[in-house]
């Protein structure tokens, strides 16, 4: 079944430029002058300097109405500026929303939240595919008109299951994979195929309580705060660059079930923020860290 883009996805016609380069004088002026010379109306601009790593990072978004050339030729026009400052850069166009696949197991709270926010236009992207190793969320996917693919995973068929998943990602031209409580460890091959394109929600305040059953471990430890962490998936389990975290206070009266409920509320919010910031091109990664631009 074909998924429909959120209505607000067609409301903007902007370009967003993300830049990383060695820090030096004149970078902002050069970018502003380049855009001015090509009749760009800058809507948002934000920057960050990392003195320890001598890095300059920037996000600039502009209205494409009246822009003097086709963004398809941006590389050609921007070559002189990017070479002068030794820039690594990415250009994102609002008229080409990202295509997102969601992977989920049995817990549906994060999936339901993402689908609801997408339907309401908060997540401006396409969500054409949901993959699960259980059938628990099939009815939810059908309600939102998203293709649901059931692919069971066992220790004996993991490679075959991932091959099916890869084929679906290619078929649906997926740009971003969201693990909405998908309770399987991805293989190194899976992670290598989609660098910086897999977002996970971990039901713990990383780096504390990594792995499984963190709420039970937190309860046993007698913590006073619990949290949830969204992060990019890397080859090392639960150690990818952190995007967002949320916390809630715990009382001595709270039992494991209370921690789990509070944690699920945090997971929904933390994951949706991470996905929104990614699809809005607000994240730059460096040194296993993230910069989140306003």
DSSP string covering 25-45: TTHHHHHHHHHHHTT-EEEEE
Contacts of 271 (CB under 8 A, 6+ apart): 110, 113, 114, 178, 180, 199, 201, 228, 230
Dist. CA 201–CA 274, nearest whole Å? 9
User: Of these residues, 113, 126, 147, 238, which one is catalytic?
Assistant: 238
Active site residue 63: no
Q: What's the rounded Cα separation, in Å, for the pair 232 and 198? A: 6
Reply yes or no: is the peptide bond before residue 53 cis, omega within 30 of 0.
no
Strands 99-104 and 176-179, by their bridges, are: parallel
The owner of tokens 């923020």 is 273
* C-alpha count within 13 angstroms, C-beta hemisphere, residue 268: 16
Tokens 């250009």: give the residue.
91
Determine the Cα–Cα distance for residues 160 and 153; give it in Å rounded to an integer: 9
Helix (H, G, I), strand (E, B), or coil: what is residue 248?
Answer: strand
Q: Where does the chain have alpha helices with state H?
A: 27-37, 74-84, 109-119, 138-143, 158-171, 188-193, 214-221, 256-279
Q: What is the SS3 assignment for 230?
A: strand
CB contact at 8 A, 67 and 78? no
The burial of 80, by beta-carbon neighbours within 10 Å (0-12 exposed, 13-18 middle, 19 or more buried), is given as exposed
Give strand ranges (E) for 86-239. Answer: 88-93, 99-104, 126-132, 147-150, 176-179, 198-202, 225-232
Q: Hey, which residues are catalytic here?
A: 238
């Amino acid at each position: 079944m074909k998924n429909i883009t959120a209505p607000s996805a067609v409301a903007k016609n902007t370009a967003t430029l993300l830049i990383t380069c060695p820090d030096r004088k004149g970078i902002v002026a050069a970018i502003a002058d380049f855009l001015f010379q090509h009749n760009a109306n800058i809507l948002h601009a934000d920057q960050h300097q990392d003195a320890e790593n001598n890095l300059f990072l920037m996000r600039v978004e502009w209205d494409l109405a009246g822009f003097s050339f086709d963004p398809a030729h941006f590389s050609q026009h921007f070559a002189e500026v990017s070479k002068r400052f030794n820039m690594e850069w990415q250009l994102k166009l609002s008229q080409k929303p990202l295509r997102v696949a969601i992977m989920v197991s049995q817990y549906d709270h994060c999936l339901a939240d993402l689908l609801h926010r997408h339907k309401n236009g908060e997540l401006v992207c396409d969500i054409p595919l949901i993959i699960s190793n259980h059938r628990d969320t099939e009815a939810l996917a059908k309600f939102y008109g998203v293709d649901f693919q059931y692919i069971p995973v066992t220790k004996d068929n993991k490679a075959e299951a991932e091959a099916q998943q890869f084929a679906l990602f290619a078929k649906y031209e997926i740009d971003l994979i969201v693990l909405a409580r998908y309770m399987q460890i991805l293989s190194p091959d899976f992670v290598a195929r989609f660098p910086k394109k897999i977002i996970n929600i971990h039901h713990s305040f990383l780096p504390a309580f990594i792995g499984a059953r963190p709420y039970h471990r937190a309860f046993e430890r007698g913590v006073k705060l619990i949290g949830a962490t969204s992060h990019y998936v890397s080859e090392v389990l639960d150690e990818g660059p952190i995007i967002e975290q949320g916390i809630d206070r715990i009382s001595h009266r709270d039992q494991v079930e209370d921690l789990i409920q509070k944690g699920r509320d945090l997971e929904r919010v933390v994951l949706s923020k991470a996905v929104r910031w990614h699809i809005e091109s607000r994240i730059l990664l460096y040194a296993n860290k993230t910069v989140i631009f306003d």
